Amino acid sequence: MFDPAAVVTHIDRLECQSSSSGSLTWLCNDKLMPGAAQTLGLCHILPGKSNPRHYHPNCEEILHVLSGTGIHSLGDQWFDLGPGTTIRVPVGVHHNLKNIGSDTLVCVIAFSSGDRQTVFLE
């Protein structure tokens, strides 16, 4: 039998990490659900803001846009993103996301490790 506290989270009971660019809520990772081999989060980026340029040395990232408009860097390339678009960020690639629209950019982000590591470049 599974302990519900070890396999189920509810967004209303999770910590929302706020910053000047928006917010991030982790929905699943090894800290919330010990033994989890993946990380899942919900990201909000405010109009005109971006997250710092960074990379993940131990996992790839998948980002799916639910609403809003942005541009996402992968190395030196930029990609236009909007509702329904998904981008894969390979392990170790420098990247960041900027909201270029007038509404909050809302994304689901997933990582191939329950212990996602991030190295900030800015």
pLDDT tens track, the chain, 122 positions = 888 878 999 999 999 999 999 999 999 999 999 999 999 999 999 999 999 999 999 999 999 999 999 999 999 999 999 999 999 999 999 999 999 999 999 999 999 999 999 999 97
Q: What is the pLDDT of residue 73?
A: 98
CB 105 within 8 A of CB 36: no
Token digits for 90? 């390979």
Q: CA-CA distance, 20 to 89, in Å (whole number)?
A: 24
List, in order of start, the domains of the chain with CATH numbers.
Answer: 4-8+16-120 (2.60.120.10)
Q: Tell whether pTM > 0.85.
A: yes
Q: What are phi and psi of 13, to 5 degrees?
A: -110, 10
Q: What is the pLDDT of residue 108?
A: 98
Reading across the β-sheet that carries 16-19, which strands appear in turn? 16-19, 22-28, 39-45, 105-111, 61-67, 86-89
Q: What is the pLDDT of residue 28?
A: 97
